Amino acid sequence: MKGGTTRITYRPGSSALHRLHPLVKAGWLVSLTALVFAAAVPGVVLGVLCGLGLVWWRISPGRVRGVRLAIGMAVFLMVLQVLARDGGAVWLRFGPLRVTDVGVRAGIAVGGRFLAVVLLSYLFVLTTDPNDLAYALMQAGVPYRFGFALVTALRLVPVFEQEGETVYRAQMARGLGYNKAGLSRWVTLARQFLLPLLISALSKVDALAVSMEGRGFGQYPRRTFLREVRFTATDAVVTGLLVIQTATWVVLVLVGLWH
């Protein structure tokens, strides 16, 4: 954590969302993502965003890196749609620019969809243990090699982020001019930053491969589990709500009532 900002990685907790089965949370992630893209009514997108805001406030993840950027990008996309879309009733005029009801609806839909997908993904990552997710997938029938690849990728992301920050500070201490403007900055960044980071990443991956080989990874077709991820009664109830919610909006889309 730097300056009170949380890295985008799993944060242990005891909230209801933390205790849910990882596959149930993954199902809600996919369903709500599809919902905000299928919804032609801006109110649905706003409703999903309000629900996400309440969940975010209850979990209190603090300042998560990238959230401000995501909000700014969502506002930019919304304003762009509002000013670029034509047609419909004119609400405001700014010289040659017009704000119409069609543009406002399009802005809310586009910006809201972007922000909803980002917040949904953040909540899933912040409240889901990568080990539990991999174990749940393997218990559901996914080959354990693929599950290990998933958990390894999730675990290495914060490691490489920390490694990148270390390389950056080390190169700055050596007097490299990362603060230069123009094309020279990117050339310096590629030569003096990306190469050490790539070498460090390859060394960690090589050490991991040697360790896996020494432990006989892949020798047996099935694996055992030290800890099993259990499907509880709460998970069953939440799964039932997921099925009802998904079936409802799918039926509305198919019969043409989702307007």
- pLDDT (tens digit per residue) in 184-241: 666 766 677 777 778 877 887 788 888 877 777 767 767 666 777 888 999 999 999 9
Mean pLDDT (whole number) for 234-255: 87
Going by pLDDT thresholds of 50, 70 and 90, the confidence category of residue 23 is very high
CA angle 193, 9, 3 (to 5 degrees): 70
**Closest C-alpha among 27, 73, 35, 62 to residue 51:** 35
Other C-beta atoms closer than 10 Å to the C-beta of 79 total: 14
For position 188, what pLDDT does the model report? 66
- Has residue 7 got a pLDDT over 70? no
Check residue 258 and give its pLDDT.
57
Query: Which secondary-structure segment (H or E) carries 98?
Result: strand 97-100
In whole angstroms, give the CA distance from residue 53 to residue 225: 36
Say whether pLDDT at 34 is over 60. Answer: yes
The average confidence (pLDDT) of the chain is 79
Would you list the domain boundaries of the chain? 1-128, 144-218
Name which residue leads in pLDDT, 65 or 53.
Answer: 53
pLDDT-derived band at 30 (thresholds 50, 70, 90) equals very high
Residue 147 in contact with residue 157, Cβ under 8 Å?
A: no
Helices (H) and strands (E) in the chain, counts: 10, 4
Better-predicted residue by pLDDT, 26 or 86: 26
Checking if the pLDDT of 161 tops 80, the result is no
Average pLDDT over residues 67-71: 84
Q: pLDDT digits over 75-110, tens only?
A: 998 888 888 777 767 777 776 777 777 788 888 888
